[in-house]
Amino acid sequence: MAELGRLLIYEACRDWLPTITGEIQTPVAVSSVEFIDPREPVMVVPILRAGLALAENASSILPATKTYHLGLRRDEETLQPSVYLNNLPEKIPEGTRVLVIDPMLATGGTIVAAIDLLVDRGVTSKQIKVVSAVAAPPALQKLSNKFPGLHVYAGMIDSEVDERGYIVPGLGDAGDRSFNT
């Protein structure tokens, strides 16, 4: 999960983050380089608990990021999300880019609730990218309808969601599988 997250985060950020040019001294000569501008704010927001595994290597790609945890759980009967932990800042600085990390996008309720919390704090959907291991059509449709133009980077798009709200074929509970619980 961590390696998949690293690859998807790289793809999500590849042409999205502002860069600056500079020079570095190699063992042979000075070289002109382009790198991510560390002055531009980037937030990583893993949806607990499974999002921790997918976001584990984010700092290896984006060392200047800040990570804010967001805990949402889905009621297994109603499939509606509820927040149990929110350490997002009350106001997110203008221009901040946000990567929301949620391994499983099934019905879309949790990811929409997470993005709504970010929008309430001043972020626009154009400043947000979503990284997921597995997504399903209901979640992608819900995101597309509510946040047109939002980009989702998923390792796989599975075909359906069953009556319990599980992705089929899916990979089971991503948190349980990541943490052996």
Look-up: residue for tokens 């063992």?
Answer: 27
List, for residues 121-157, the tens digit of each pLDDT value.
Answer: 999 989 999 999 999 999 999 999 999 999 999 999 9
Residue 63: per-residue pLDDT? 81
Residue 121: per-residue pLDDT? 95
Residue 42: per-residue pLDDT? 92
Q: Is the pLDDT of residue 178 over 90?
A: no
Residue 113: per-residue pLDDT? 96
| Residue 139: closest CA among 105, 115, 173 | 105
Look-up: residue for tokens 């980009």?
Answer: 151
Residue 173: per-residue pLDDT? 66
Q: Helix 109-120 vs helix 137-146: angle between axes, to the nearest 10 degrees? A: 30
Phi, psi of 69 (to 5 degrees): -90, 140
CATH architecture of 1-179: 3-Layer(aba) Sandwich (3.40)
> Could you tell me the pLDDT band of residue 59, with boundaries at 50, 70 and 90?
confident
Burial category of 156 from C-beta neighbours within 10 Å (exposed 0-12, middle 13-18, buried 19 and up): middle
Q: Which residue has the higher pLDDT, 65 or 68?
A: 68
Residue 90: per-residue pLDDT? 94
Domain boundaries, the chain: 1-179
- Residues contacting residue 180 through CB under 8 Å, at least 6 positions apart: none
Contact of 141 with 108, CB cutoff 8 Å: yes
Q: Is the pLDDT of residue 180 over 70?
A: no
Residue 175: per-residue pLDDT? 58
